[in-house]
């Protein structure tokens, strides 16, 4: 890829606002784009419709609404998750339509730093992902002037994975912790490798300490926090710890910081989600073997899917879907020539916690509905589609073989999950 096309963009949606970041290979880390030089805070995910029919977005929409220049629609991501129509001046809109307007308007910020044909990747990251938000974002991506294969959807935990694994390897040799003190409460994320029968999956665990309050930043708080950290970490191997939130500012963390720094690297971090979203675009291509490293979260498929095909005189396993694939990207379409075969055997290999617990399930789809033909005279198309992380179907379609053995037009769909 040329230096000219090394720009990547990340969106981080949270609490009714969005941060938009950009990164290129000549930068130390991603930087944020702001709607105005005077306003450096996150951009409200808000629209205002003027009397002329023009839409304003972000801080401009908020300002116009305060002046009574038009109706305002706020927190578009929440509205997408709810899925109910929004009426603006007697005109009903689906929330996804309005979020599409917001995203397209926000591209004006990107034009300040690069042309869209210079963008090599773009990621939309959300604090929480729902099926409705995913569906709306897929529709928005299909309308964008950037190829869909260079655009990604993820949640904040996956952004944390991308943020960490883009750092130097010694910072994530062992587990990595994120201590998030925003909002006055303590939330802990821990990124670590899971023992698995297939590859090296990384997972993020979450613990929320609702009862711990930072309160006054004094010695008593410092000692209480140090005790909590000792209970949390104990003898676990932690390579690095990232601190996020204004509660960690100041010089009150003496004992607790001294404890954290014992054999661990400690960093303050801001805008983790949007930085991770940028780094997602730079994630190395995952190797297609059982030693591959991948992220395994709420939106990722927890098993491999494949089938057996004849290759000469022996049967071979052909993997079609890999564990770690986002379910909304989990699609496969392949054509096979039937050779001594009267069924399609689908094998599901589950990612289990240890190699000795390896578990596979085989399901057979009979082909007795296909017209009788000589051996090697029938092709079938096998389509795999996911409707959820555990909800998927396999469709087998008879394609025949050219004009001599025309396709019957028949197909069979088998529900495999859900």
Q: Could you tell me the CA-to-CA distances from 200 to 165, 291, 350, 360 in Å, in that order?
A: 13, 6, 13, 18
Q: What percent of the chain has pLDDT over 90?
A: 78
Give me 358's structure tokens.
């390896």
State pLDDT tens for residues 179-222.
999 877 899 999 999 887 778 899 999 999 988 888 788 899 99
Per the document, the length of the chain is 418
Question: Taking the mean position of all CA atoms in its chain, how far away is CA 193?
Answer: 18
Least confident segment among 20-29, 133-142, 289-298: 289-298
Half-sphere exposure of 358 (CA within 13 A, CB side): 9
Q: 161-279: what fold? A: Nucleotidyltransferase; domain 5 (3.30.420)
Q: Residue 3: what pLDDT?
A: 43
Task: Specify the higher pLDDT residue, 111 or 12.
Answer: 12
Answer whether residue 4 shows pLDDT above 60: no
Distance spanning both ends of the chain, measured CA to CA:
41
Q: Residue 213: what pLDDT?
A: 82
Q: Could you tell me the CA-to-CA distances from 251 to 248, 256, 415 in Å, in that order?
A: 8, 11, 59
Is there a shared CATH topology between the 3-146 domain and the 161-279 domain?
Answer: yes
Q: Could you tell me the CA-to-CA distances from 219 to 87, 255, 349 in Å, in that order?
A: 53, 8, 53
Res. 418 pLDDT band, cuts 50 70 90: low
Q: Where are the domains of the chain?
A: 3-146, 161-279, 300-415
Q: What is the DSSP string of 242-253?
A: EEESGGG-SS--
Res. 413 pLDDT band, cuts 50 70 90: very high
Q: Residue 40: what pLDDT?
A: 73
Answer whether residue 170 shows pLDDT above 90: yes
- Say if residues 260 and 241 touch (Cβ distance below 8 Å): yes
Average pLDDT of the residues in 309-317: 78
Q: Residue 1: what pLDDT?
A: 38
Res. 228 pLDDT band, cuts 50 70 90: very high
Least confident segment among 159-168, 183-192, 405-414: 183-192
d(CA 132, CA 279): 25
d(CA 193, CA 293): 9
Q: Residue 140: what pLDDT?
A: 97
- Say if residues 140 and 153 touch (Cβ distance below 8 Å): no
Q: Residue 356: what pLDDT?
A: 63
Q: 3-146: what fold? A: Nucleotidyltransferase; domain 5 (3.30.420)
Mean pLDDT, the chain, rounded, equals 92
- Tell me the helix, strand and coil percentages in the chain, rounded to 5: 25, 35, 35
State pLDDT tens for residues 254-280.
999 999 999 999 999 999 999 999 999
Q: Residue 2: what pLDDT?
A: 40
**If 0-12 CB within 10 Å is exposed, 13-18 middle and 19+ buried, where does residue 275 land?**
buried
Q: Residue 38: what pLDDT?
A: 72
Q: Residue 291: what pLDDT?
A: 79
d(CA 96, CA 139): 8
Task: Specify the higher pLDDT residue, 286 or 148.
Answer: 148
Angle 130-136-141 from CA coordinates, rounded to 5°: 120
Closest to 155 in 3D by CA, of 410, 389, 404, 391:
389
Least confident segment among 24-33, 96-105, 193-202, 291-300: 193-202
Q: Residue 183: what pLDDT?
A: 77
Q: What is the DSSP string of 380-402?
A: EEEEEEESSSS-EEEEEEEEEBT
- What's 48's DSSP letter? E
Q: Residue 199: what pLDDT?
A: 82
- What's 401's DSSP letter? B
Closest to 193 in 3D by CA, of 156, 161, 217:
161
Res. 354 pLDDT band, cuts 50 70 90: low
Q: 300-415: what fold? A: Substrate Binding Domain Of DNAk; Chain A, domain 1 (2.60.34)
Average pLDDT of the residues in 117-126: 95
Average pLDDT of the residues in 76-83: 97
Q: What is the DSSP string of 128-171?
A: S--HHHHHHHHHHHHHSSS-GGGEEEEEHHHHHHHHHHTS-GGG
Q: Residue 366: what pLDDT?
A: 96
Average pLDDT of the residues in 14-22: 96
Phi-psi region of 38 (alpha: psi -120 to 50; beta: other; left: phi over 0): alpha
Angle 156-115-73 from CA coordinates, rounded to 5°: 50
Answer whether residue 249 shows pLDDT above 60: yes
Q: Residue 355: what pLDDT?
A: 60
Tell me if residue 196 falls in helix, strand or coil: coil
pTM above 0.85, yes or no: yes
Answer whether residue 5 shows pLDDT above 80: no
- What's 255's DSSP letter? H
Closest to 290 in 3D by CA, of 199, 197, 196:
199
Q: Residue 351: what pLDDT?
A: 87
d(CA 283, CA 162): 7
- What's 5's DSSP letter? G
Closest to 8 in 3D by CA, of 18, 372, 26, 16:
26
48 phi, psi to nearest 5 deg: -135, 130
């Amino acid at each position: 890829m040329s230096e000219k096309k090394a720009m990547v963009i990340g969106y981080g949606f949270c609490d009714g606002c969005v941060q938009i970041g950009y990164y290129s290979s000549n930068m130390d880390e991603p930087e944020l784009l702001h709607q105005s030089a005077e306003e450096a805070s996150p951009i409200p995910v808000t629209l205002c419709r003027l009397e002329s029919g023009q839409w304003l977005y972000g801080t401009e929409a908020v300002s116009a609404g305060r002046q009574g220049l038009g109706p305002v629609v706020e927190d578009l991501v929440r509205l997408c998750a709810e899925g109910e129509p929004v009426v603006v001046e007697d005109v009903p809109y689906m929330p996804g339509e309005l979020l599409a307007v917001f995203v397209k308007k926000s591209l004006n910020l990107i034009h300040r730093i690069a042309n869209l044909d210079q963008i090599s990747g773009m990621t939309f990251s959300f604090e929480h992902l729902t099926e409705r938000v995913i569906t709306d974002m897929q529709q928005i991506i299909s309308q964008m002037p950037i190829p869909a294969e260079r655009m990604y959807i993820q949640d904040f935990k996956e952004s944390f994975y991308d943020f960490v694994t883009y750092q130097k390897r010694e910072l994530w040799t062992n587990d990595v912790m994120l201590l998030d003190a925003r909002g006055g409460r303590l939330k802990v994320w821990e990124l670590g490798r899971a023992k698995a029968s297939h590859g090296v999956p990384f997972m993020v665990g979450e613990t929320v300490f609702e009862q711990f309050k930072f309160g006054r930043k004094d010695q008593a708080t410092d000692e209480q926090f140090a005790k909590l950290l000792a209970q949390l970490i104990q003898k676990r191997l932690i390579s690095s710890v990232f601190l996020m939130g204004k509660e960690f500012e100041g010089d009150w963390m003496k004992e607790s910081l001294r404890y954290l720094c014992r054999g661990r690297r400690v960093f303050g971090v801001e805008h983790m989600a949007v930085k991770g979203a940028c780094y997602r675009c730079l994630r190395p291509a995952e190797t297609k073997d059982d030693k591959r490293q991948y992220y395994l979260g709420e939106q990722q498929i927890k098993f491999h899917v494949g089938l057996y095909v004849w290759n000469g005189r022996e049967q071979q396993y052909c993997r079609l879907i890999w564990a770690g694939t986002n379910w909304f990207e989990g699609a496969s379409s392949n054509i096979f020539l039937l050779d001594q075969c009267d069924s399609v055997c689908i094998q599901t290999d589950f990612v289990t916690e240890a190699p000795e617990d390896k578990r596979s399930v085989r399901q057979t789809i009979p082909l007795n509905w296909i017209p009788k033909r000589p051996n090697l005279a029938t092709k079938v198309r096998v389509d795999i589609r996911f409707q959820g992380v555990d909800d998927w179907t396999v469709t087998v379609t008879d394609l025949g073989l050219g004009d001599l053995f025309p396709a019957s037009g028949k197909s069979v769909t088998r529900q495999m999950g859900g």
